[in-house]
């Protein structure tokens, strides 16, 4: 009798709890979960290196594989013993071997070709072929799962506004690695060519169908727009001269629409590839610099090849600029970000001997790249202090100050630390709330599921995640269980690595997406990576010698110092974390800005 009762009870529980047997994410080690009837599942462990019901038993071959060092250990090694690395960096062969290791260790974590998207948690031709979707590394949580994040946790997630107030509320914390806002604006400018959400369709869709470094933010994402921006002479882009310097043309002149509010006068409505780059002077600064670079490269090509027509010149210049961008991103930008003493190298040939797919589609990467904590409370240009209200859409700043002063000012102003919590400028709180809301619309899986997917240990408690008690205590009432903390807020409250802007998850998730996106570019493939693609030896060497410094020096009068780190950063007094609330970013500015 009792047995029958128990069985009946059990039977009545199964349909609700196992409504969707894959909700509990039973398959490990990248095994694919498929429902089998209403109350059972099967894990497909093919080529995962594991077997068993949940793909948890390693195959013999898997056991033989050398253990990878833990990410924090590898990070420690690469960011310490500067003297040893200085020697290694001088030995080309050793440097190459380590660079191959950096690349091949990361890129297999990204599925290529891509698999899922917001609608498809299983493989389908639609998900593969419809380029309007951002693709997903992890399938969305199925709609009929018992809780928003699968089976664990409460039925409802915390109010996103409350979460932002409690966890991300602002008190400016300068980045201990010396990152400046020249870096922040580069990040924003560079990434917005491929993070271009199509809000008409929703946050899971993109208008940037190139899904990578295609420089659509310089040339426009449609051919029609590109043609409006082109001069059709010598391959160049249209421009105007202001105070003897080259600037983008006006919207009125070229007819390429831009988003400007009504108060901006016609003369200051510049037209560039990305419609939103009039928003922030930092973006217009980079847009202007790249416009000058394009036209400069055209001049060089025209000299080399007086016989070339406009189209050939334009297309070749674009490929060279794509190469320059990737070179600068790896050797200056990622180099700074990583904090590595090992000198990174952009060399596509390093991958020619490994299995590597030259394609990429943008994924969850967008969510984790919302690095708004980098931004300060106020912006300093020359002697002037700008609030957000005065800085954003300012109708006069770029040509009024000139590019040189913008470069110097942004180079000297320190950026905020991204991880560690409570560092979003007040003005950008609403953006953080939106990111959380969108992640829920898109049914993201939780932080710990992402950590496991990227071969990281799931966090066992809130304090394990934050590395401190105060924010951990704020997380507790919001989430109750460390297993359901959401990806985005977690990335911003995670314990930062010592003297670094980010914690482990941001780097270990972000780096594979980033390297795959850069090295998976068309121009890095064996067929394209040769001088003739870039107009010969001269063009090839333009891209192979590119750096942030030369980009600025070649295009900005007076060749101002430009870097992704505040100059002489180590000479700042050590920052006492307990005093941070009282630090005004102005104090951290070098005297230099007043000389401008
Ligand atoms: C003054 C500077 C900035 C302002 C005012 C600003 C503001 C915004 C706003 C209003 C959005 C749209 C929010 C939404 O629709 O959900 C956004 C999106 C975004 N921001 Fe920022 N932001 C700034 C700087 C930055 C920086 C430095 C980064 C660094 C990488 C960044 C990364 C992003 C990303 C990745 C997106 C998503 C873009 C997309 O999906 O289309 N932003 N930002
Ligand atoms: C597989 O995973 C399920 C759900 O997570 C668990 O209940 C079960 O014990 C696991 N089975 C094996 C053989 O590991
Ligand atoms: C891609 O999918 C979206 C959403 O279903 C749809 O609106 C759009 O038309 C599709 N695009 C193509 C090219 O089929
Ligand atoms: C634009 O910047 C100038 C300083 O260059 C400042 O005086 C002005 O108030 C700003 N304009 C707006 C609309 O905020
Ligand atoms: C910029 O906008 C303000 C109003 O927002 C206006 O008073 C000012 O004249 C404009 N500046 C220029 C240079 O047009
Ligand atoms: C940092 O601040 C704490 C608390 O205010 C104080 O005890 C400590 O001495 C300070 N450290 C330094 C190096 O100033």
Average pLDDT over residues 193-200: 96
Q: State whether 378 and 442 are in the same domain.
A: no
Say if ligand 4 is within 6 A of residue 162 CB.
Answer: no
Same domain assignment for residues 520 and 470: no
Task: Find the largest Cα–Cα distance for the chain.
Answer: 96
Residue 213 maps to a domain: yes
Ligand 3 contact, 124 CB (< 6 A): no
Residue 529's pLDDT is: 98
Mean pLDDT calculated for residue range 520-527: 96
- For the chain, the domain total comes to 3
What is the pTM assigned to this prediction?
A: 0.92
- Active site residue: 41, 50, 134, 192, which one? 192
pLDDT of residue 4: 47
- Averaged pLDDT for residues 4-26: 60
pLDDT at 71 over 80: yes
Residues 519 and 383 in one domain: yes
State whether the beta carbon of 430 lies less than 6 angstroms from ligand 5.
no
Report whether residue 96 contacts ligand 2, using a CB cutoff of 6 Å. no
For 205-254, the pLDDT digits (tens) are 999 999 999 999 999 999 999 999 999 999 999 999 998 999 999 999 99
For tokens 């932002």, name the residue.
164
117, 125, 128, 132, best to mutate for ligand 3 pocket (most atoms within 8 Å of CB): 132
> What's the pLDDT score for residue 430?
92
| Structural domain includes residue 132 | no
Please report the pLDDT score of residue 16 as a whole number.
Answer: 45
Q: Are 445 and 99 in contact (CB under 8 A)?
A: no
Same domain membership, residue 476 and residue 330: no
CATH of the domain at 26: 2.10.25.10
Q: Which two tokens stand for residue 270?
A: 């510049």
For atom 5 of ligand 2, the residue with the nearest CA is 26
Q: For position 15, what pLDDT does the model report?
A: 43
pLDDT digit string, tens, across residues 568-589: 887 455 555 555 554 444 444 4
192 given a catalytic annotation: yes
Ligand lying nearest the CA atom of residue 384: 4
Taking the C-alpha atoms of residue 557 and residue 423, their distance in angstroms, rounded to an integer, is: 35
Atom of ligand 4 at shortest range from CA of 397: 5
Same domain, 344 and 356: yes
CB–CB of 218/235 below 8 Å? no
Question: Which pLDDT score is estimated for 584?
Answer: 45
Q: Is 457 annotated as a binding residue?
A: no
Q: What's the CATH number where 274 sits? A: 1.10.640.10
Whether residue 87 lies inside any domain: the answer is no
pLDDT of residue 19: 62
Please give the structure tokens belonging to residue 367.
């969510």
For residues 298 and 219, membership in a common domain is answered with yes
- Rounded to the nearest integer, the mean pLDDT of the chain is 90
With a cut of 70, say whether residue 7 has pLDDT above it. no
Whether residue 132 has its Cβ less than 6 Å from ligand 3? yes
On whether residue 277 sits in a domain, the answer given is: yes
pLDDT value at position 575? Answer: 55
The pLDDT value recorded for residue 516 is: 94
pLDDT of residue 596: 33
Q: Give the model's pLDDT for residue 397.
A: 66
Position 11 pLDDT exceeds 80: no
Digit-coded pLDDT (tens) for 484-501: 999 999 999 999 998 899
| pLDDT the model gives residue 583 | 44
Domain that holds residue 54: 18-66
Mean pLDDT to the nearest integer, 125-137: 96
Residue 2: its pLDDT value, please?
A: 53
Return the residue whose CA atom lies nearest to atom 11 of ligand 3: 130
pLDDT tens profile 309-326: 999 999 999 999 999 999
Quick check: is 108 in a domain?
A: no
Mean pLDDT of 7-33: 71
> Could you give the residue ranges of the DSSP H alpha helices within 60-210?
60-64, 71-79, 82-88, 92-106, 125-129, 160-163, 181-191
> Is 204 found in the same domain as 279?
yes
| Residue 574 belongs to a domain | no
Q: With 90 as the cut, is the pLDDT of residue 198 above it?
A: yes
Residues 406, 377 share a domain: yes
Whether 487 is in a domain gets the answer: yes
- Asked if residue 264 lies in contact with residue 249, where contact means CB atoms within 8 angstroms, the answer is no
SS3 479: helix
Catalytic residue among 116, 247, 369, 479: 369
pLDDT grade for 395, boundaries at 50, 70 and 90 = confident
Neighbours of 410 (CB within 10 A): 25
Which pLDDT does position 588 carry in this prediction? 41
Calculate how far, in angstroms, residue 189's C-alpha sits from the geometric centre of ligand 3.
27
- Percent of the chain with pLDDT strictly greater than 70: 92
Q: Which of 242, 417, 381 is nearest to 390 (CA)?
A: 381
**Does 103 have pLDDT greater than 60?**
yes
Is there a single domain that holds both residue 538 and residue 405?
A: yes
Q: Report yes or no on 521 lying in a domain.
A: yes
Q: Which of 34-38, 449-453, 460-464, 539-543 has the lowest mean pLDDT?
A: 34-38
Residues 336 and 456 in one domain: no
Asked if the model's pLDDT at residue 8 lies above 50, the reply is no
The lowest-confidence range among 282-286, 367-371, 498-502 is 498-502
130 CA to middle of ligand 3, Å? 6
Angle at 594 between CA 589 and CA 596, to 5 degrees: 115
Q: Answer yes or no: do 486 and 518 share one domain.
A: no
- Mutating to test ligand 4, I would choose from 386, 387, 393, 398 the residue with most ligand atoms within 8 A of its C-beta, which is 386
CB-count burial class (<10 Å; 0-12, 13-18, 19+) for 372: buried
Which ligand 6 atom is the nearest neighbour of the CA of 576?
A: 1
Tell how far the Cα of 205 is from the centroid of ligand 3, in angstroms.
9
**Nearest atom within ligand 6 for CA of residue 578:** 2
**CB neighbour list of residue 20: distance below 8 Å, 6 or more residues apart:** 35, 142, 144, 145
Domain co-membership, 397 together with 325: yes
């Amino acid at each position: 009798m009792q047995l029958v009762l128990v069985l009946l009870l059990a039977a009545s529980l199964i349909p609700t709890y196992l409504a969707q047997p894959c909700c509990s994410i039973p398959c490990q080690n990248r095994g694919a979960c498929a429902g089998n009837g209403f109350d059972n599942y099967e894990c497909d462990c093919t080529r995962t290196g594991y077997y068993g019901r949940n793909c948890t038993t390693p195959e013999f071959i898997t056991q033989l594989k050398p253990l990878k060092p833990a990410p924090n250990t590898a990070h420690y090694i690469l960011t310490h013993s500067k003297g040893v690395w200085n020697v290694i960096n001088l030995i080309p062969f050793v440097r190459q071997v380590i660079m191959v290791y950096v690349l091949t260790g990361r890129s297999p974590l990204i599925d290529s070709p891509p698999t899922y998207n917001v609608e498809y948690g299983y493989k389908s031709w639609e998900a593969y072929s419809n380029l309007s979707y951002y693709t997903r590394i992890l399938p969305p949580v199925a709609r009929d799962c018992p809780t928003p994040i699968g089976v664990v946790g409460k039925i409802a997630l915390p109010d996103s506004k409350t979460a932002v107030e409690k966890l991300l509320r602002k008190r400016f914390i300068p980045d201990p690695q010396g990152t400046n806002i020249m870096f922040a604006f580069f990040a924003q400018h560079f990434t917005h060519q491929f993070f271009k959400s199509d809000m008409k369709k929703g946050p899971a869709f993109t208008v940037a169908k190139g899904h990578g470094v295609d420089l659509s933010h310089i040339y426009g994402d449609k051919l029609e727009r590109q043609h409006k921006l082109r001069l059709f002479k010598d391959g160049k882009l249209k421009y105007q001269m202001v105070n003897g310097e080259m600037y983008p043309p006006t919207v009125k002149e070229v007819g390429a629409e831009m988003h400007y509010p009504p108060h901006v006068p016609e003369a200051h409505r510049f037209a560039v590839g990305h419609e939103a780059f009039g928003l922030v002077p930092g973006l217009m600064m980079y847009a202007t610099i790249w416009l000058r670079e394009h036209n400069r490269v055209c001049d060089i090509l025209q000299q080399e090849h007086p016989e070339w027509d406009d189209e050939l010149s334009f297309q070749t210049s674009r490929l060279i600029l794509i190469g320059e961008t990737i070179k600068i991103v790896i050797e200056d930008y990622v180099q700074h970000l990583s904090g590595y003493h090992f000198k990174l190298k952009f060399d596509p040939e390093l991958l020619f001997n490994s299995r590597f797919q030259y394609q990429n589609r943008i994924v969850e990467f967008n969510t984790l790249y919302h690095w708004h904590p980098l931004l300060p409370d106020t912006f300093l240009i020359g002697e002037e202090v700008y609030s957000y209200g005065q800085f954003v859409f300012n109708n006069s700043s770029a040509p009024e100050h000139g590019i040189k002063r913008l470069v110097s000012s942004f180079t000297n102003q320190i950026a905020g630390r991204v991880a560690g919590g409570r560092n979003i400028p007040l003005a950008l709180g609403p953006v953080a709330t939106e990111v959380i809301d969108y992640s829920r619309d898109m049914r993201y899986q939780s932080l710990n599921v992402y950590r496991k997917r990227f071969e990281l240990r799931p966090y066992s408690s809130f304090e394990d995640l934050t590395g401190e008690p105060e924010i951990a205590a704020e997380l507790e009432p919001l989430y109750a269980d460390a297993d359901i903390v959401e990806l985005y807020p977690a990335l911003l409250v995670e314990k930062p690595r010592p003297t670094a802007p980010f914690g482990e998850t941001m780097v270990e998730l972000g780096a594979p997406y980033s390297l795959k996106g850069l090295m998976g570019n068309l121009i890095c493939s064996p067929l394209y990576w040769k001088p003739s693609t870039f107009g010969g030896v001269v063009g090839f060497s333009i891209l192979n010698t590119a750096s942030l410094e030369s980009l600025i020096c070649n295009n900005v009068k007076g060749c101002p110092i430009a870097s992704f780190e505040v100059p002489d950063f180590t000479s700042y007094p050590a920052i006492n974390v307990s005093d941070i609330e009282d630090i005004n970013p102005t104090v951290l500015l070098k005297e230099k800005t007043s000389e401008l």
